[in-house]
Amino acid sequence: MLAVVAWNMAEKEEFWSLLRSSRGDAVVLLATFLLTIFVDLITGIGVGVVLGALLFLHRMAESVEIAGGQSSLEDVADDSDTRSHYDAQQATNRDVMVYHISGAFFFGATARVLGVLERVGTPPRLLVLDFKDVPLIDTTAARSLVTFVNKVGRLGTSVVFAAARPTVRRTLNRAGLKPPLVRYSATAREAATMAPQ
């Protein structure tokens, strides 16, 4: 009788919709559902929460983007009031490279971001990492950046972190990313003027 009541209460259309939406959601749903039925409710919920958290971390890692290279100083939203006129000299300056990182920068995204940064061909004299759209960074990502900054520093590249929020900057500082290893600036445009002469 309880099985019939539960079946009648279930939102079957929602269940099938979740199964068809994505593989990750389907795995979480089926694992929770089957463990609840065949093992017990506590195990089902526990496994469901853990799988859901892992799925969330994976999606957050996939949402981190890094863009840039030469001429990225002009990569400003069209509706931004701070957009300046195109500066051909700055845009073609091969001594300065600017990368804009957006999204939560944590251990799940570290390999992806550092993979892009390490594909830089000839190292520039100045590498600017624009953190304006990074709401948070964890210790693992910060420690990975320490290794990367030391590596490019040996090649003669100076690194400037631009527009880091106070919480992000605190995490970076705790990891050892402070002057003279790296410098900080308020904006990427300001950082691009800090190339060593």
pLDDT in tens, the chain (197 residues): 666 776 677 667 767 766 777 788 888 888 888 888 888 888 988 998 898 888 777 766 665 556 665 444 444 444 444 444 434 344 446 688 888 888 887 766 667 777 777 776 677 888 888 889 888 888 878 888 888 888 888 888 899 999 999 988 998 998 889 888 999 999 888 888 876 65
Is the domain of 99 the same as that of 53?
no
Q: Are 106 and 171 in the same domain?
A: yes
**Which pLDDT belongs to residue 98?**
86
Distance of CA 65 to the CA centre of its chain: 6
Q: Is residue 183 part of a domain?
A: yes
For residues 15 and 69, state if they share a domain: no
Q: Is residue 79 part of a domain?
A: no
Give the SS3 label for residue 100: strand
Nearest one of 75, 70, 108, 109 to 90, comparing CA atoms: 70
The residue range of the domain holding 51 is: 10-61
Tokens, residue 118: 């390490």
The predicted structure's pLDDT at residue 183? 92
Question: Does 113 lie in the same domain as 172?
Answer: yes
Same domain, 52 and 69: no
Helices (H) and strands (E) in the chain, counts: 9, 5
Helix (H) or strand (E) holding 132: strand 126-133
> In terms of domains, do 14 and 103 share one?
no
- pLDDT score at 78: 41
Residue with tokens 């000839």: 122
